[in-house]
Structure 1
Amino acid sequence: MSNRLRQTPSQTLGPFFAYGLTARQYGYDFDQLADGRIVRDDTKGTRIRVTGQVFDGAGALIEDALIEVWQADADGRYPDAAAFADCNAFHGFGRSGTGADPACRFGFDTIKPGGHDGQAPHLNVVVTMRGLLLHLFTRIYFADEAAANEADPVLALVPQARRNTLIARLVQPGLYRFDIRMQGDDETVFFDV
């Protein structure tokens, strides 16, 4: 009898269904709640693009990760329900998969968020991918906000030697690069939320 009883396979999060979460990014002709374009033509603020890749512990690209960001507007305010109802307004939420791009990149067209409650400008990030039992939370801070980053109370909770894993580097004006490393020497700091 003991030979017939086996452990139930564990369930993991993902792979996510592109046609339901990032339909247009993958070429499906369906509507979707959000994509990588968070900013609209009339949104107030400095336009930026944040792009990056997700790597596993061996340094290989992860081609089926889903990255979501939530952010404040240029004045440091988070959108309310009315903003989400108006699809032409800045709604502060974006979603991008890594598999539609041959280089497995995610990308967000947005504005530089304002700081709030003593916190430096940042994007809140959720990472979902195969192999995770739960999604992970992290943040993206900006390299050109050094003084604000130094005073940020959340970033101050992270050991100094690991803070660089939360800083997007400025590649050129308006373009930031932020890679997510799931494990290894430069593993991105994830928060227990």
Structure 2
Amino acid sequence: MKKPFYKSWLFWVVVVLLGSIVGQLAARNKPDDQTAPSATQQAQRTAAADTPADQAAGNPSVSWESAIKQIAQSDTESAQKADAVLVLAKNYSPSPEELQDFESQIVEEYNAGNYLAHIEDAEYMLVNLFKAAVVESIHSDGEPVRAFASGFSHNISNIFRGTDTVEGTSIKANEAEMDKTLAEMK
């Protein structure tokens, strides 16, 4: 199975370089600049907006659905959108019922053959990426549902970022592994 993208040394070099560039640009900007926040910053703010303190204060909360809609509609590159959704998923704590819904929904999308069929629909792809990343982050290593969610999210991420094609060998290899884990889940 292909090594996850975040374990690649090249990924971390790019992250450090981008972080350095963003840090330098931010240091140059004056506080009164009205620059648009990045998709990742929007996702972090959105995730932080739905705290118990906000709810107790009567502040309206922002759902993950609306956060993903904002990210999908942003003018950022696909890779940045995917990264923002992964940040949002990492900080998200679903209820047990919602987690079960996410699990069944990603399996349904895979079985129906839809999960890579709407590549041009950013919101659709990002919602599926979010659900799979949440499922993957909640379950422990060795659980078939985690392995399935991992393959699902990697395939969506690679297709959405444009680093692979639907007929690519790594996509097909992940799908073969996903089929095996589906059999274990039943």
Report the TM-score, using the length of structure 2 for normalisation. Answer: 0.26
Q: Which has the higher strand share?
A: 1
Report the TM-score, using the length of structure 1 for normalisation. Answer: 0.25
Q: Which has the higher helix share?
A: 2
